[in-house]
Amino acid sequence: ILIDFEYFNKGIEGITTFNYGFLDPNDQDFHKGESEIEGIDFFLRNKSEVVTSWLSYTYTDALNIFKDLNSSLPFTGNQSIKHQIIASTSVDFNNLNIALIWKWHTGKPYSYPSEVTELPANTYRFSYDKLNGLTLPNYNRIDVSLGYKFKNHKNNLNPEIVLSFVN
């Protein structure tokens, strides 16, 4: 059994973003800023001759600050996925491998326009009250794979065929 726990807190300076005119239609510039990322990782693995299982949990909180964006106030970073769980089990029996992976995480942050203004020539101006103030729905996924390893002892080739169902 392997158990691992980590706490992390990292400040990153010199990150850049391009505004694309979302917050200010006259602003088409790159902006320099910084990010503060804090979180924990927990990992548990149990391995036997036939079965390997592991479980991981991650908590992440990331804040960005860009001069001249969002009134220079911090806002949630795109990479801020608060909670994530991944569980996996793999069974190896003779030449056959069956694996199941489940992934779940809370929604990723995004910005939703508070106002849309139609401009001439079928163009639009989007106004945002808050950067990354909302989150997408939670994400859930299950993947299954089935593999078979062919043993070819004549020329040391070991071809494998794998069928995967990716959700």
Q: What is the pLDDT of residue 4?
A: 97
Instruction: Tell me what the mean pLDDT of segment 23-52 comes to.
Output: 86
Query: How far, in Å, are 20, 22, 77, 87 from residue 27 at the CA level?
Result: 7, 8, 20, 44
Cα angle at 133 between 126 and 32, to 5 degrees? 75
What are the pLDDT digits (tens) for 110-166? Answer: 888 888 888 888 877 777 778 888 999 999 999 999 999 887 767 777 788 999 999
Cα angle at 12 between 9 and 15, to 5 degrees? 150
Hey, how many other C-beta atoms are within 10 angstroms of the C-beta on 39?
19
pTM: 0.80
Q: Are 32 and 16 in contact (CB under 8 A)?
A: yes
Terminal-residue alpha carbon distance, the chain: 29
Q: What is the pLDDT of residue 112?
A: 86
